Amino acid sequence: MASVPNLAASFDPATSPDLVKRAELSEIDASTKVPALFFLGSAVLWLLVGTAFALISSFKLHTPNYFGDIEWLTFGRTRTAHLNAVIYGWSVNAAFAVAFWLMARLSRSVLRHSGLLMIAGAFWNIGVTIGIIGILTGDSTSIEWLEMPPYATPLLFVAYALIGAWALITFRFGKSGHIYVSQWYLLAALFWFPWLYSIAQIMLILEPARGTVQALVNWWFAHNVLGLWFTPIGLAAVYYFLPKVLGKPIHSYYLSILGFWSLALFYNWAGVHHLIGGPVPAWVLSAGIAASFMMAIPVIVTGINHHMTMVGSFSALKYSPTLRFIVFGAVSYTITSLIGSLMADRQVNEVVHFTHFTVAHAHQGMYAFFTMVMFGSIYYILPRILLKEWPSAMLISVHFWTVAVGITVYVVGLSIGGIKQGLEMNNADIPFLSTTAASVVTNTIPYLLSRSLSGVLMTIGHMAFAVNISWMLLRPRAPQATTPTLFQNPPEMEVAR
Amino acid sequence: MSAVDPQDKNPKIEQAGASDESIQQVHSILLREKPEPEENHSPMPLFLLGFISAMVLMVAIYFVHNSGGLSQSFSFKQAAMVYDERFDPKNAPSAGAEVKIDPLALGKKNYASVCAACHQPNGLGVPGVYPPLAKSEWVTGSEERIIRILLHGLQGPIKVEGKEYNSAMPAIGPGGYNFSDERIAAVLTYIRQEWGNSAPAVTKEKVTEIRTKAAAGRTTAWTSAELDAIP
């Protein structure tokens, strides 16, 4: 379709089928406006908070006495606060907003009961705030990925239940006969997350399982949050925005199906690979490793599907910010997942486990894939719910390049440093820590510095993003038709973002 | 009039509320975007079939080789053990053997959880109410009597270390705390060898013998007079 309304349609809008659809979309978007703004706004604030804690923690790794004598800014607390702020604050808030915006559009249903969502949003963010304050004051449960103290988590659960119920209502009342692939992922994710979260809360916090079962449940949860919650939401967004921005269909429905079901089948098993070498029955580990290898199937299938959709349209990357972020995310998804399968191999794991390599991998998944996809989605969604254009293409450009270069430096630096660290740790001749000779710990310092440097870059990007959003919120709506804010103007108005 | 979408047979579209007015107000941002996404039905590339089959085969082989003994030659119990290639169930020291429990440790634990409430952790009891166990001639004396006290309880006047008590102690064995013979033997061994007491250990077999033979069928608590009659 033309990006500028064509002549015939503008004479008699009511007869144009496409315009009817546009009107419907516009109403759906309008109905999502308040809650979407609330969730996205909270997400961005948490992103800034999380980034601040990230920087502090990163500096501490090479300069340990930086803020060393302030109890609530010690490493154990800032790192944990960082994780919880970016996961439960930024990522989940953004995921919620993107999920229900997509869900409403794809179900062709205006957002009903948005009050429910606002209550959920309030509960969620109050819960995260209490949780992070709890962590900083020393109340962390010290269970990885579930560090928030038990007095904060019930709030999160209530919030979640409301959102889950809401999504089902929307889907149920939807008008669309066909269920688009993004909707499978969204619905599945909305089912999976409460399952994971409630089992983990019960078996780890309320009525803790004993012995190594506890570790198993912990990693089952922590890994599945990535694979069965963030991954499906991220993929749902990719599946929507790729064809949407390019204006062409997804390559193959069959590949979509295969990718979805193989993910659902294999991912749930994979988390155990975190316990390789631990006191866990061998067959449990081997099953986890086997499933991790099998994850190559959904990843490659999805990768092919996305790539074949892109083929012939790569030049659009020059113009559309949404597309550029989304494609960066989709490519990272493929790379990081394949590396993940490799890391589950016992021989590889022997080297990279307990090193910075794992940290690099985690950030490649949560940042290079998920966060980038969320950025891309936000660049698309906000103009539609605010009916304003992004104020500055320059700031978008700064945002993209700082975070893209930043996360690349981060991942490459820590991956190399991590492999080196792992080989040295397995070598008994090299001391673990020594202030006089070269040691495993002191050898990691250059890589830790590169991590801080990339952290600074990403911080700049996040500031640019936040400034652009605030500016957009504050500026008045243009009365006349506007043109999109693109990196550069395409020869013809081919790309609509 | 409400707008009708000629290409869309779905009657519900009319409920979308897409009135003329709202259509005219559709913002340029929404007008310029591309249509909602769809899917093509391109066939799957053939090599995927080969790739997936190869993966399934390789991973299956991997699992069978690395399951650490889930195959038929091992029991499930062994399979559930931690994988260690040096482990050989045939040479494992504890294979099939029963684990030995130190009666003193078991006795101490049970004393703390049950007896200490009355006889106190230091074994000195409470003057006038609960008789002491430390230095008590009953404790260090005939095992026949104290086994009976524990099995069925004790009531009525009793003289311990020259002082008179007249109260009741509940049965620790059947009908009371339901201690097993092993636990009774362990707790008795413990009180006979703690706080400066030194008397020989009490065996589980002796407790079983008294419970099932000498004092079989007894349900009421013993009295000091009855016990005095037993050697």
Nearest CA distance, B69 vs chain A (angstrom): 8
Residues A255 and A404 in one domain: yes
- Chain A touched by B162 (CB under 8 Å): no
Residue B169 phi, psi (nearest 5): -115, 135
Average the pLDDT over each of A85-89, A95-99, A111-115, A137-141 and give the range with the smallest value.
A111-115
Query: What distance in Å separates the CA atoms of residue A317 and residue B100, rounded to the nearest whole number?
Result: 72
Query: What distance in Å separates the CA atoms of residue A446 and residue A198, rounded to the nearest whole number?
Result: 41
Enumerate the β-bridge partners of residue B130.
B126
Residues A185 and A37 in one domain: no
> Residues of B with CB below 8 A from A283's CB?
63, 67-70, 79-80
Question: In chain B, positions 8-67, which contact chain A (CB-CB < 8 Å)?
Answer: 8, 10, 12-13, 15-18, 20, 22-45, 48, 51-52, 55-56, 58-60, 62-63, 66-67
Query: What distance in Å separates the CA atoms of residue A481 and residue A325, rounded to the nearest whole number?
Result: 26
To probe the interface with A, which of B15, B30, B71 has the most A CB atoms within 10 Å? B30
Nearest CA distance, A161 vs chain B (angstrom): 28
pLDDT of residue B84: 54
Task: Look up the CATH number of the domain holding residue A80.
Answer: 1.20.120
- Residue written as tokens 């089952």? A220
Q: Tell if the CB–CB gap between B83 and A181 is shorter than 8 Å.
A: no
Q: How sure is the predictor about A295, in pLDDT bands with cuts at 50, 70 and 90?
A: very high
Q: A9 pLDDT exceeds 50?
A: no
To probe the interface with B, which of A7, A18, A24, A299 has the most B CB atoms within 10 Å? A24
Q: Tell if the CB–CB gap between B6 and A252 is shorter than 8 Å.
A: no
Residues A223 and A123 in one domain: no
User: Looking at the domain assignment, is residue A14 inside a domain?
Assistant: no
Question: In chain A, positions 287-326, which contact chain B (CB-CB < 8 Å)?
Answer: 287, 289-290, 293-294, 296-297, 300-301, 304, 308
Task: Collapse the DSSP code of B48 into the 3-class scheme (helix H, G, I; strand E, B; otherwise coil) and give the result.
Answer: helix
Judged on CB neighbours under 10 Å (0-12, 13-18, 19+), A312 is exposed
Per residue in B119-155, pLDDT tens? Answer: 999 999 998 889 999 999 999 998 999 999 999 999 9
Q: Are A158 and A119 in contact (CB under 8 A)?
A: no
More confident residue, B3 or A399: A399
Task: Look up the CATH number of the domain holding residue A286.
Answer: 1.20.210.10
- Residue written as tokens 């449990």? A284
DSSP label at A208?
P
Nearest CA distance, B50 vs chain A (angstrom): 11
Q: What is the dihedral of CA A167, A170, A176, A178, to 10 degrees?
A: 20
Cα–Cα nearest to A280, from A365, A346, A230, A325:
A346
- Residue written as tokens 């604030």? A45
Q: How sure is the predictor about A26, in pLDDT bands with cuts at 50, 70 and 90?
A: confident
Q: Tell if the CB–CB gap between B29 and A389 is shorter than 8 Å.
A: yes
> Residues of A with CB below 8 A from B41's CB?
252-254
Q: Give Dmax (Cα) for chain A.
A: 82
Cα–Cα nearest to B107, from B10, B192, B207, B183:
B183
Residues A123 and A228 in one domain: no
pLDDT of residue A288: 94
User: Looking at the domain assignment, is residue A297 inside a domain?
Assistant: yes
> Residues of A with CB below 8 A from B69's CB?
282-283
pLDDT of residue B8: 44
pLDDT of residue B137: 92
Task: Measure CB to CB from residue A482 to each of B15, B28, B56 and give the nearest one.
Answer: B28
Residues A439 and A323 in one domain: yes
Query: What distance in Å separates the CA atoms of residue A396 and residue A388, rounded to the nearest whole number?
Result: 15
Judged on CB neighbours under 10 Å (0-12, 13-18, 19+), A273 is buried
- Chain B touched by A139 (CB under 8 Å): no
Residue A133, both tokens: 């304050």
Enumerate the β-bridge partners of residue B203.
none
Task: Measure CB to CB from residue A26 to each of B13, B27, B55 and give the nearest one.
Answer: B27
pLDDT of residue A207: 86
Round the average pLDDT of chain A to a whole number and report it.
90
pLDDT of residue B6: 42
Query: What distance in Å separates the CA atoms of residue A329 and residue A306, rounded to the nearest whole number?
Result: 11
> Residues of B with CB below 8 A from A497's CB?
33
More confident residue, A12 or A308: A308
What average pLDDT does range A433-450 have in this prediction?
91
pLDDT of residue A51: 97
Query: What distance in Å separates the CA atoms of residue B34 and residue A332, rounded to the nearest whole number?
Result: 25
User: Looking at the domain assignment, is residue A495 inside a domain?
Assistant: no
Give all domains of chain B, ordered by start, each with its CATH number: 54-100 (no CATH), 103-228 (1.10.760.10)
Determine which helix (DSSP H) or strand (DSSP E) holds B222, and give its type and residue range.
strand B222-223
Domain range for A200: 180-487
Q: A353 pLDDT exceeds 70?
A: yes
Enumerate the β-bridge partners of residue B158.
B165
Residues A326 and A359 in one domain: yes
Q: What is the dihedral of CA A44, A45, A48, A54, to 10 degrees?
A: -100
DSSP label at A128?
H
> Residues of B with CB below 8 A from A5's CB?
28, 31
User: Looking at the domain assignment, is residue A2 inside a domain?
Assistant: no
Task: Collapse the DSSP code of A252 into the 3-class scheme (helix H, G, I; strand E, B; otherwise coil) and give the result.
Answer: strand
Per-residue exposure over A101-131, b if at least 16 CB sit within 10 Å of its own CB, e if not: bbbbbbbbbbbeebebbeebbebbbebbbbb
Q: Tell if the CB–CB gap between A250 and B38 is shorter than 8 Å.
A: yes
- Residue written as tokens 């009903």? A112
Residues A170 and A37 in one domain: yes
- Chain B touched by A246 (CB under 8 Å): yes
pTM of the model: 0.72
Q: In the listed set A159, A178, A197, which residue is the last one of a domain according to the structure? A: A178
Cα–Cα nearest to A390, from A458, A462, A464:
A464
> Residues of B with CB below 8 A from A299's CB?
none
User: Looking at the domain assignment, is residue A395 inside a domain?
Assistant: yes
Residues A164 and A194 in one domain: no
- Chain B touched by A10 (CB under 8 Å): no
Number of domains composing chain A: 2
Determine which helix (DSSP H) or strand (DSSP E) holds B155, and give its type and residue range.
strand B154-160
What average pLDDT does range A416-431 have in this prediction?
94
Q: In the listed set A148, A178, A208, which residue is the last one of a domain according to the structure? A: A178
pLDDT of residue A112: 81
* Alpha-carbon separation of residue A206 from A126, A150, A200, A203, A227 (angstroms): 21, 8, 9, 7, 24
pLDDT of residue A492: 56
Q: State the amino acid at position B110 in one-letter form.
A: N
DSSP string, A91-119: IHHHHHHHHHHHHHHHHT-----HHHHHH
Residues A319 and A222 in one domain: yes
Residues A196 and A142 in one domain: no
- Chain B touched by A376 (CB under 8 Å): no
Query: What distance in Å separates the CA atoms of residue B172 and residue B150, rounded to the nearest whole number?
Result: 5
pLDDT of residue B102: 85
- Chain A touched by B87 (CB under 8 Å): no
Residues A246 and A154 in one domain: no
C-alpha B119 chain-centroid distance: 28
pLDDT of residue B4: 41
pLDDT of residue B25: 56
User: Looking at the domain assignment, is residue A115 inside a domain?
Assistant: yes
Task: Measure CB to CB from residue B83 to each of A182, A251, A282 and give the nearest one.
Answer: A282
User: Looking at the domain assignment, is residue A140 inside a domain?
Assistant: yes
Query: What distance in Å separates the CA atoms of residue A150 and residue A131, rounded to the nearest whole number?
Result: 8
Query: What distance in Å separates the CA atoms of residue B222 and residue A117, rounded to the nearest whole number?
Result: 71
To probe the interface with B, which of A286, A310, A337, A381 has the most B CB atoms within 10 Å? A286
Determine which helix (DSSP H) or strand (DSSP E) holds B157, and give its type and residue range.
strand B154-160
Task: Measure CB to CB from residue B80 to each of A254, A281, A296 and give the nearest one.
Answer: A281
Query: What distance in Å separates the CA atoms of residue A92 and residue A234, rounded to the nearest whole number?
Result: 11
Q: How sure is the predictor about A234, in pLDDT bands with cuts at 50, 70 and 90?
A: very high
Average the pLDDT over each of A15-29, A137-151, A350-364, B84-98 and give the range with the smallest value.
B84-98
Q: Tens-digit pLDDT profile for chain B (231 aa)?
A: 344 444 444 433 333 444 444 445 567 777 788 888 988 999 989 999 999 999 999 999 998 888 765 544 444 455 555 555 555 656 665 555 566 788 888 999 899 888 998 999 999 999 888 999 999 999 999 899 999 999 999 999 999 999 999 999 999 988 888 888 999 999 999 999 999 999 999 999 999 999 998 888 888 889 988 888 887
Nearest CA distance, A101 vs chain B (angstrom): 13
Q: Tell if the CB–CB gap between B31 and A4 is shorter than 8 Å.
A: yes
Query: What distance in Å separates the CA atoms of residue A225 and residue A156, rounded to the nearest whole number?
Result: 15
Which residue does chain A place closest to B53, by CA atoms? A297
What average pLDDT does range A233-256 have in this prediction?
95
* Alpha-carbon separation of residue B154 from B141, B147, B226 (angstroms): 16, 11, 10
Q: Tell if the CB–CB gap between A23 and B82 is shorter than 8 Å.
A: no
User: Looking at the domain assignment, is residue A6 inside a domain?
Assistant: no
pLDDT of residue B86: 59
Nearest CA distance, B179 vs chain A (angstrom): 26
- Chain A touched by B99 (CB under 8 Å): no
Q: In the listed set A131, A146, A178, which residue is the last one of a domain according to the structure? A: A178
> Residues of B with CB below 8 A from A297's CB?
51-52, 55
pLDDT of residue B78: 52
Query: What distance in Å separates the CA atoms of residue A156 and residue A123, rounded to the nearest whole number?
Result: 6
Q: A298 pLDDT exceeds 90?
A: yes
Helix pair angle (A75-84, A17-62), 10° resolution: 170
Residues A127 and A195 in one domain: no
